[in-house]
Amino acid sequence: MSNAVMLQAFEWNLPNDGNHYKWLADSTPEFKELGLAAIWLPPFCKATSNSDVGYGIYDLFDLGEFDQKGSVRTKYGTKEELQHAIKTLQAAGLQVYADVVLNHKAGADKAEVFAAVPQNPENRLEQISEMRDIKAWTYFDFRGRQGKYSDFVWNFNHFTGVDYDEFTGEHGIFRIVGDNKYWAEGVSSERGNYDYLMFADIDHEHPDVQREIKDWLNWMIQETEVDGLRFDAIKHIEDKFIADVVSQLYETWAEKNLFLFGEYWAFDPGATNHFLEQTEYELHLFDVVLHFNMQNASLGGSDYDLRTIFDNTLVQQHPDKAVTFVDNHDSQRGQSLESWVDEWFRPHAHAIILLRKDGYPCIFFGDLYGIGGQEAWPNSYDTVAEMIRLRHTYAWGEEVDLPTDDHEILAWSRSGDEEHPGGLLAILNSGGDKEMHFTVAQGHPGQSFRDAMLHSDQIVELDDERSAVFPIKAGSVSVWVPTE
């Protein structure tokens, strides 16, 4: 996995034409030329409709094979097209990761009547009125599939909460009442208890549910032959259940050496660290704190101290568990977790995730191919592609953060290694034009360096102490590499 780069191969506003799997297969040569190592697929199970991105999950066992929810295909294509895309990508040496949605189910086949307690949406531990019977959509029998692959039928006993009472037309948070049933304990403490997120919330403590999910995971891996899994919304799922699932996957599929990672969306490093402890550090996580630090830097401009950008980040505290990213489908503009890194800072952010030693960088679809059918922003594709090339060519060996008294500057050097000599010096600037003196870990006296990002055409030569004065353009990222 050394110096590997992952692509999140989707965004929220992809067209609903069923052609995405075909596009992925056709784009395989381009992915290889870019230097990518892995492709993270969109959720590929049948959702509430073929316009659903895939997180409104309906039937786990329908990968685009059965006529359900208005079509056979999902938003992205059919099961056969999915399998073909995966095989095409893998034949080219790319790993493929599935997006696994286990927190909830949506689009039930029938409504049921059961007892529930209304809870305060801002504090789900606070009951706001008496228990009563409600009517909600919790019965799933998947009539279009007719029991193929699994004859399990879901009902209200398999869920902990819903958000709508059809009897009254009331929207809210309703905790389902039952023997030994309550919100999960090992979840985020936000809003008192953040077990409930959306739709019909799955009860992961129910033994039948546990069995069904584990059976599906094994079936899905066998059917698709994916190389890894990305777990969605895990701060809303019992951490002990996640730990159990991950342990069994590693054991059952030991020969595949699965890469398992998850989304724990929290700005609090304490919460993330607690989750890692509870799951015995078996799962890699997205570095959400780094993402927010980069967004704050992009909004703060020259007032932000770039030297603090790694404070409290996962890549700083647990570098071997960090999946680093700039943005994703949730943080993109218009989404519920919108926290977009401003355009001027995106080259800086990509340098941070691509040119440093630690973290497994994940590139967002939108930075290469645009969002919502619009063209990619100027130079996004070329800039990211060049930084991936620099990562593979020069970003090796020892990493040294270079000290500076200037809060507008973040700089580090890489020494290179025997197979990748030369190293690099990366300089990120949030302020105006300037010159700075640096001593670097790579190279030798008299060696000359050029800016691979072309912000300067000046050739800089190291003195006897491997030092030089480097020109720095306003608001830019420069990556200095050997001229020869």
Active centre residues (catalytic): 232, 263
Which residue type is seen at 118? P
Q: Check: CB of residue 298 under 8 Å from CB of residue 327.
A: no
Task: State the DSSP code for 51.
Answer: T
| H helices present in 18-163, as ranges | 20-26, 28-34, 79-91
Q: Check: CB of residue 142 under 8 Å from CB of residue 61.
A: yes
Q: Residue 465 — φ and ψ, nearest 5°?
A: -100, 15
Tokens read off for 267: 């700005």
Strand partners, 309: none
DSSP assignments along 288-311, one per residue: HHHHHHHHHHHHHGGGS-GGGTTT
> For the stretch 80-119, what's the b/e string if a residue is b when 16 or more beta carbons lie within 10 angstroms of its beta carbon?
ebbbbbbebbbeeebbbbbbbbbbbbbbbbeebebebbbb
Q: Which residues contact 221 (CB under 8 A, 6 or more apart)?
A: 249, 253, 256, 258
70 backbone φψ class: left, alpha, beta (φ>0; ψ -120 to 50):
left
